Amino acid sequence: MSADPRARALLVLADGEVFEGEAAGAAQPVSTGELVFNTALSGYQEVLTDPSYAGQVVAFTYPHIGNYGVNREDDESPRVHCRGVVVRDLSSEPSSWRASETLESWLVRLEVPAVSGIDTRRLTRHLRDKGAMPCAFGTAGEATLRDAAAQALPTDGRDLVSEVTTAAPFVRGDGPRRVVAYDFGVKETMLRHLGRLATVTVVPASTPASDVLSLEPDGVFLSNGPGDPGALPGPTAAVADLVGKVPIFGICLGHQLLCSALGGSTYKLAFGHHGTNHPVQRLSDGAVEITSQNHNYAVTSVPGVDVTHVNLNDGVVEGVRCLSADAFGIQYHPEAGPGPHDARYLFSSFAEMLG
């Protein structure tokens, strides 16, 4: 049974920084995870149901969260995968004809702990200066939360994909082509886009390349997902076995695994890219796309590729195309719901590659 949703609560970071707030959602004495901030102004339901947040606690920089409630149509997966939610003001009166319940009642029903009333401006500045880090929050005393934060795990070196991938293959869409999609934490919006192009067989992350090729696909899609790509040698090896044998399109973690399979390396960003307003330049013509992003890791030093897109904020590689095979990857999210939609043309690019 959850605690009083407006009981006093604390958020304690692994470096000892303390923030005062109120318990919300399915409040618990102690909850832990790696704390990151997201700058999106809307789309909180899509963020919270995105499997890529497994192992993390999400702090929203926008001060009012829950304004338009929640509804089943906006879920990106059947459940919430993040470890908790941090907000400044949790709205109790949603204003939208689409709302089926409040954000807080939804969090309670799905057993997701939260903390509200946090000074998220100070918190965001701290994370920008110090980097994403483990945290603990809840109604327990400060000493207990300090101990929990000190012992909480970051995402480094952890295979979080195995926690979110499908247990068995399933089929989506009815498009004219055949695509196999690796589920590293795939979002429903991705499957809807792919389903217009192809009949999509979604397979577990551990599926070997030989099983994929036995399905005789026209192309392979590598989905988004949580955690450290360096902790996924099996999927990386499978992708390496597929390069040159079938067209490949990777998004976010899928992009990182494609680059790793091509001999590239990855590294962890200080506080990641999480939001819906990241400017990315398409190098072929100089056009700028406003993009949705959600990743803590990035790629560097990839041999045999053309870099096709770069982040204008910090120069991070946002897209590559393999020179020796039909394969390309994008670090950001062209499928993003609720948006922006500047990069949806990339699904058409994949369709052209499929023939």
Task: Please state the φ and ψ torsions of residue 264, each to the nearest 5 degrees.
Answer: -85, 175
| Marked catalytic residue, from 252, 273, 318, 322 | 252
DSSP strand pairing (56-60 vs 113-116): unpaired
Helix, strand, coil percentages for the chain (3-state, nearest 5):
25, 35, 40
- Are 331 and 255 spatial neighbours (Cβ–Cβ below 8 Å)? yes
Catalytic residue list contains 135: no
Catalytic residue list contains 335: yes
Cα 206 to its chain centre, rounded Å, is 19
Q: Report d(CA 248, CA 220) in Å as an integer.
A: 5
Q: How distant, in Å, are the alpha carbons of 55, 224, 240, 281 from that of 266?
A: 19, 15, 16, 21
Q: Report d(CA 171, CA 191) in Å as an integer.
A: 10
Q: Report d(CA 314, CA 53) in Å as an integer.
A: 22
Catalytic residue list contains 188: no
Q: What residues are annotated to the active site?
A: 252, 333, 335
